[in-house]
């Protein structure tokens, strides 16, 4: 998740220009600095950014169809795209045009004809800023105690995944997890030992949920939630079962539990045609978790 702040070569720059000659020139300038992708129109640029999230966009102003300026405004107004910095590369260099670029939300302006060294250095500078900003943003998504994602990340990610699912009809499942009799654990072993259990459980959950797009988040207190994109209910049930078994298998002593070791209960839900909002997905997972608790804990249940 964390990119090295000096690793510009791993960054991707999207070039938006309708002139093939210009695209080639820009690619030639940047290909030794970072990864470069090109598109010919503003519409294609927006579609690309929605799928791939490049680190920087070099935008021509005058394009067939939607102008670069309009594309910049639209991207700035879209929460999932507004963090992508946009530099205008354009021959519209008069004062009024430059003002319009700044007002649209551009981070910089490179006039045509371009000076290759200037372009390279501007791109390097903005990529460094972008990497630094990403690191700060990522830290704000990490839970201080366990080192896994926090509730803030979960809230953002689940919205994003549901939107993506509407577009591409992927499945999305969720597993809500709660440590059993954790109040009794804290009361008997003390809060610091409780914290240690939270860390160990978080680490085990993360060890098992390994697919790159999956995420394990601390939802709050002793509750965790696992997000499983591209995973139908059947797959999520297998993961929930594995997680429940793995935590009991750690054999962390818990004298105050009827299972004698630390265990978890889990509730599984999947987005379907009738259950496609964050609220319904979470309510179903929560209801299933409640059922697992009622069924004796150390088990999982799922919402049909
Ligand atoms: N050590 C520690 N305890 C926490 C933390 N956050 C929440 N808790 C404790 O987690 C416990 C949760 O207790 P309950 O919600 O009653 O649930 P439970 O005892 O696990 O019982 P069941 O869920 O029914 O099995 C409370 O005692 C909280 O104080 C934390 O960061 N560290």
Write out pLDDT tens, residues 116-151.
999 999 999 999 999 999 888 888 999 999 999 999
Question: Which of 144, 184, 186 should be mutated for ligand 1, with most atoms under 8 A from CB?
Answer: 186
Nearest CA to ligand 1 atom 30: 221
Write out pLDDT tens, residues 44-68.
999 999 888 899 999 999 999 999 9
Question: Which of 198, 222, 286 should be mutated for ligand 1, with most atoms under 8 A from CB?
Answer: 222
> How remote is the CA of residue 263 from the centroid of ligand 1, in Å?
13
> How remote is the CA of residue 183 from the centroid of ligand 1, in Å?
4
Give one DSSP letter per residue of 90-153, joined into a string: ES--SHHHHHHHHHHT-SEEEESSP-HHHHHHHHHHHHHHHHHHHHHHHHTTB-TTTSSB-HHH
Q: Which residues are catalytic?
A: 222
ipTM: 0.90
Beta-strand runs (E) in the chain: 12-16, 35-39, 56-59, 86-90, 108-111, 172-179, 215-220, 223-229, 264-270, 300-302
How far is the C-alpha of 51 from the C-alpha of 39, rounded, in Å?
Answer: 14
Ligand 1 atom closest to Cα of 195? 1
Neighbour count for residue 250 (Cβ, 10 Å)? 14
Domains within the chain, CATH numbers bracketed:
8-139 (3.40.50.2300), 151-302 (3.30.70.270)
State the pTM of this model: 0.70
Ligand 1 lined by 182 (C-beta under 6 Å)? yes
Q: List phi, psi (to 5°) of 266.
A: -140, 145
């Amino acid at each position: 998740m964390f990119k090295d702040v000096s690793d510009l070569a791993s960054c991707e720059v999207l070039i938006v220009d309708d002139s093939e000659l210009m695209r080639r020139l820009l690619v030639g300038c940047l290909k030794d600095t970072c990864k470069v992708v090109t598109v010919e129109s503003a519409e294609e640029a927006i579609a690309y950014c929605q799928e791939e999230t490049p680190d920087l966009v070099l935008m021509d102003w005058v394009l067939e169809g939607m102008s670069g300026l309009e594309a910049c405004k639209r991207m700035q107004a879209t929460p999932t795209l507004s963090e992508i910095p946009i530099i205008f590369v354009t021959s519209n260099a008069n004062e009024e045009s430059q003002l319009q670029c700044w007002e649209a939300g551009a981070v910089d302006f490179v006039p045509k004809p371009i000076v290759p060294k200037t372009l390279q250095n501007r791109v390097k500078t903005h990529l460094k800023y972008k990497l630094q900003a990403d690191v700060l943003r990522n830290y704000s998504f990490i839970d201080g105690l366990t080192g896994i994602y926090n509730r803030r990340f979960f809230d953002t990610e689940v919205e994003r995944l549901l939107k993506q699912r509407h577009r591409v009809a992927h499945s999305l499942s969720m597993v809500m997890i709660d440590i059993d009799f954790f109040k009794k654990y804290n009361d008997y072993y003390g809060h610091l030992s409780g914290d240690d259990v939270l860390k160990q459980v978080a680490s085990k959950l993360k060890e098992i949920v390994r697919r790159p797009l999956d995420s394990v988040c601390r939802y709050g207190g002793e509750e965790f939630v696992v997000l499983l994109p591209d995973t139908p209910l059947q797959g999520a049930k297998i993961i929930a079962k594995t997680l429940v078994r793995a935590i009991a298998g750690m054999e962390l002593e818990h004298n105050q539990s009827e299972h004698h070791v630390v265990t978890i209960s889990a509730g599984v839900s999947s987005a379907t045609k009738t259950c496609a909002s964050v609220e319904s997905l979470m309510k179903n997972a929560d209801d299933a978790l409640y059922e697992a608790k009622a069924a004796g804990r150390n088990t999982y249940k799922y919402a049909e």
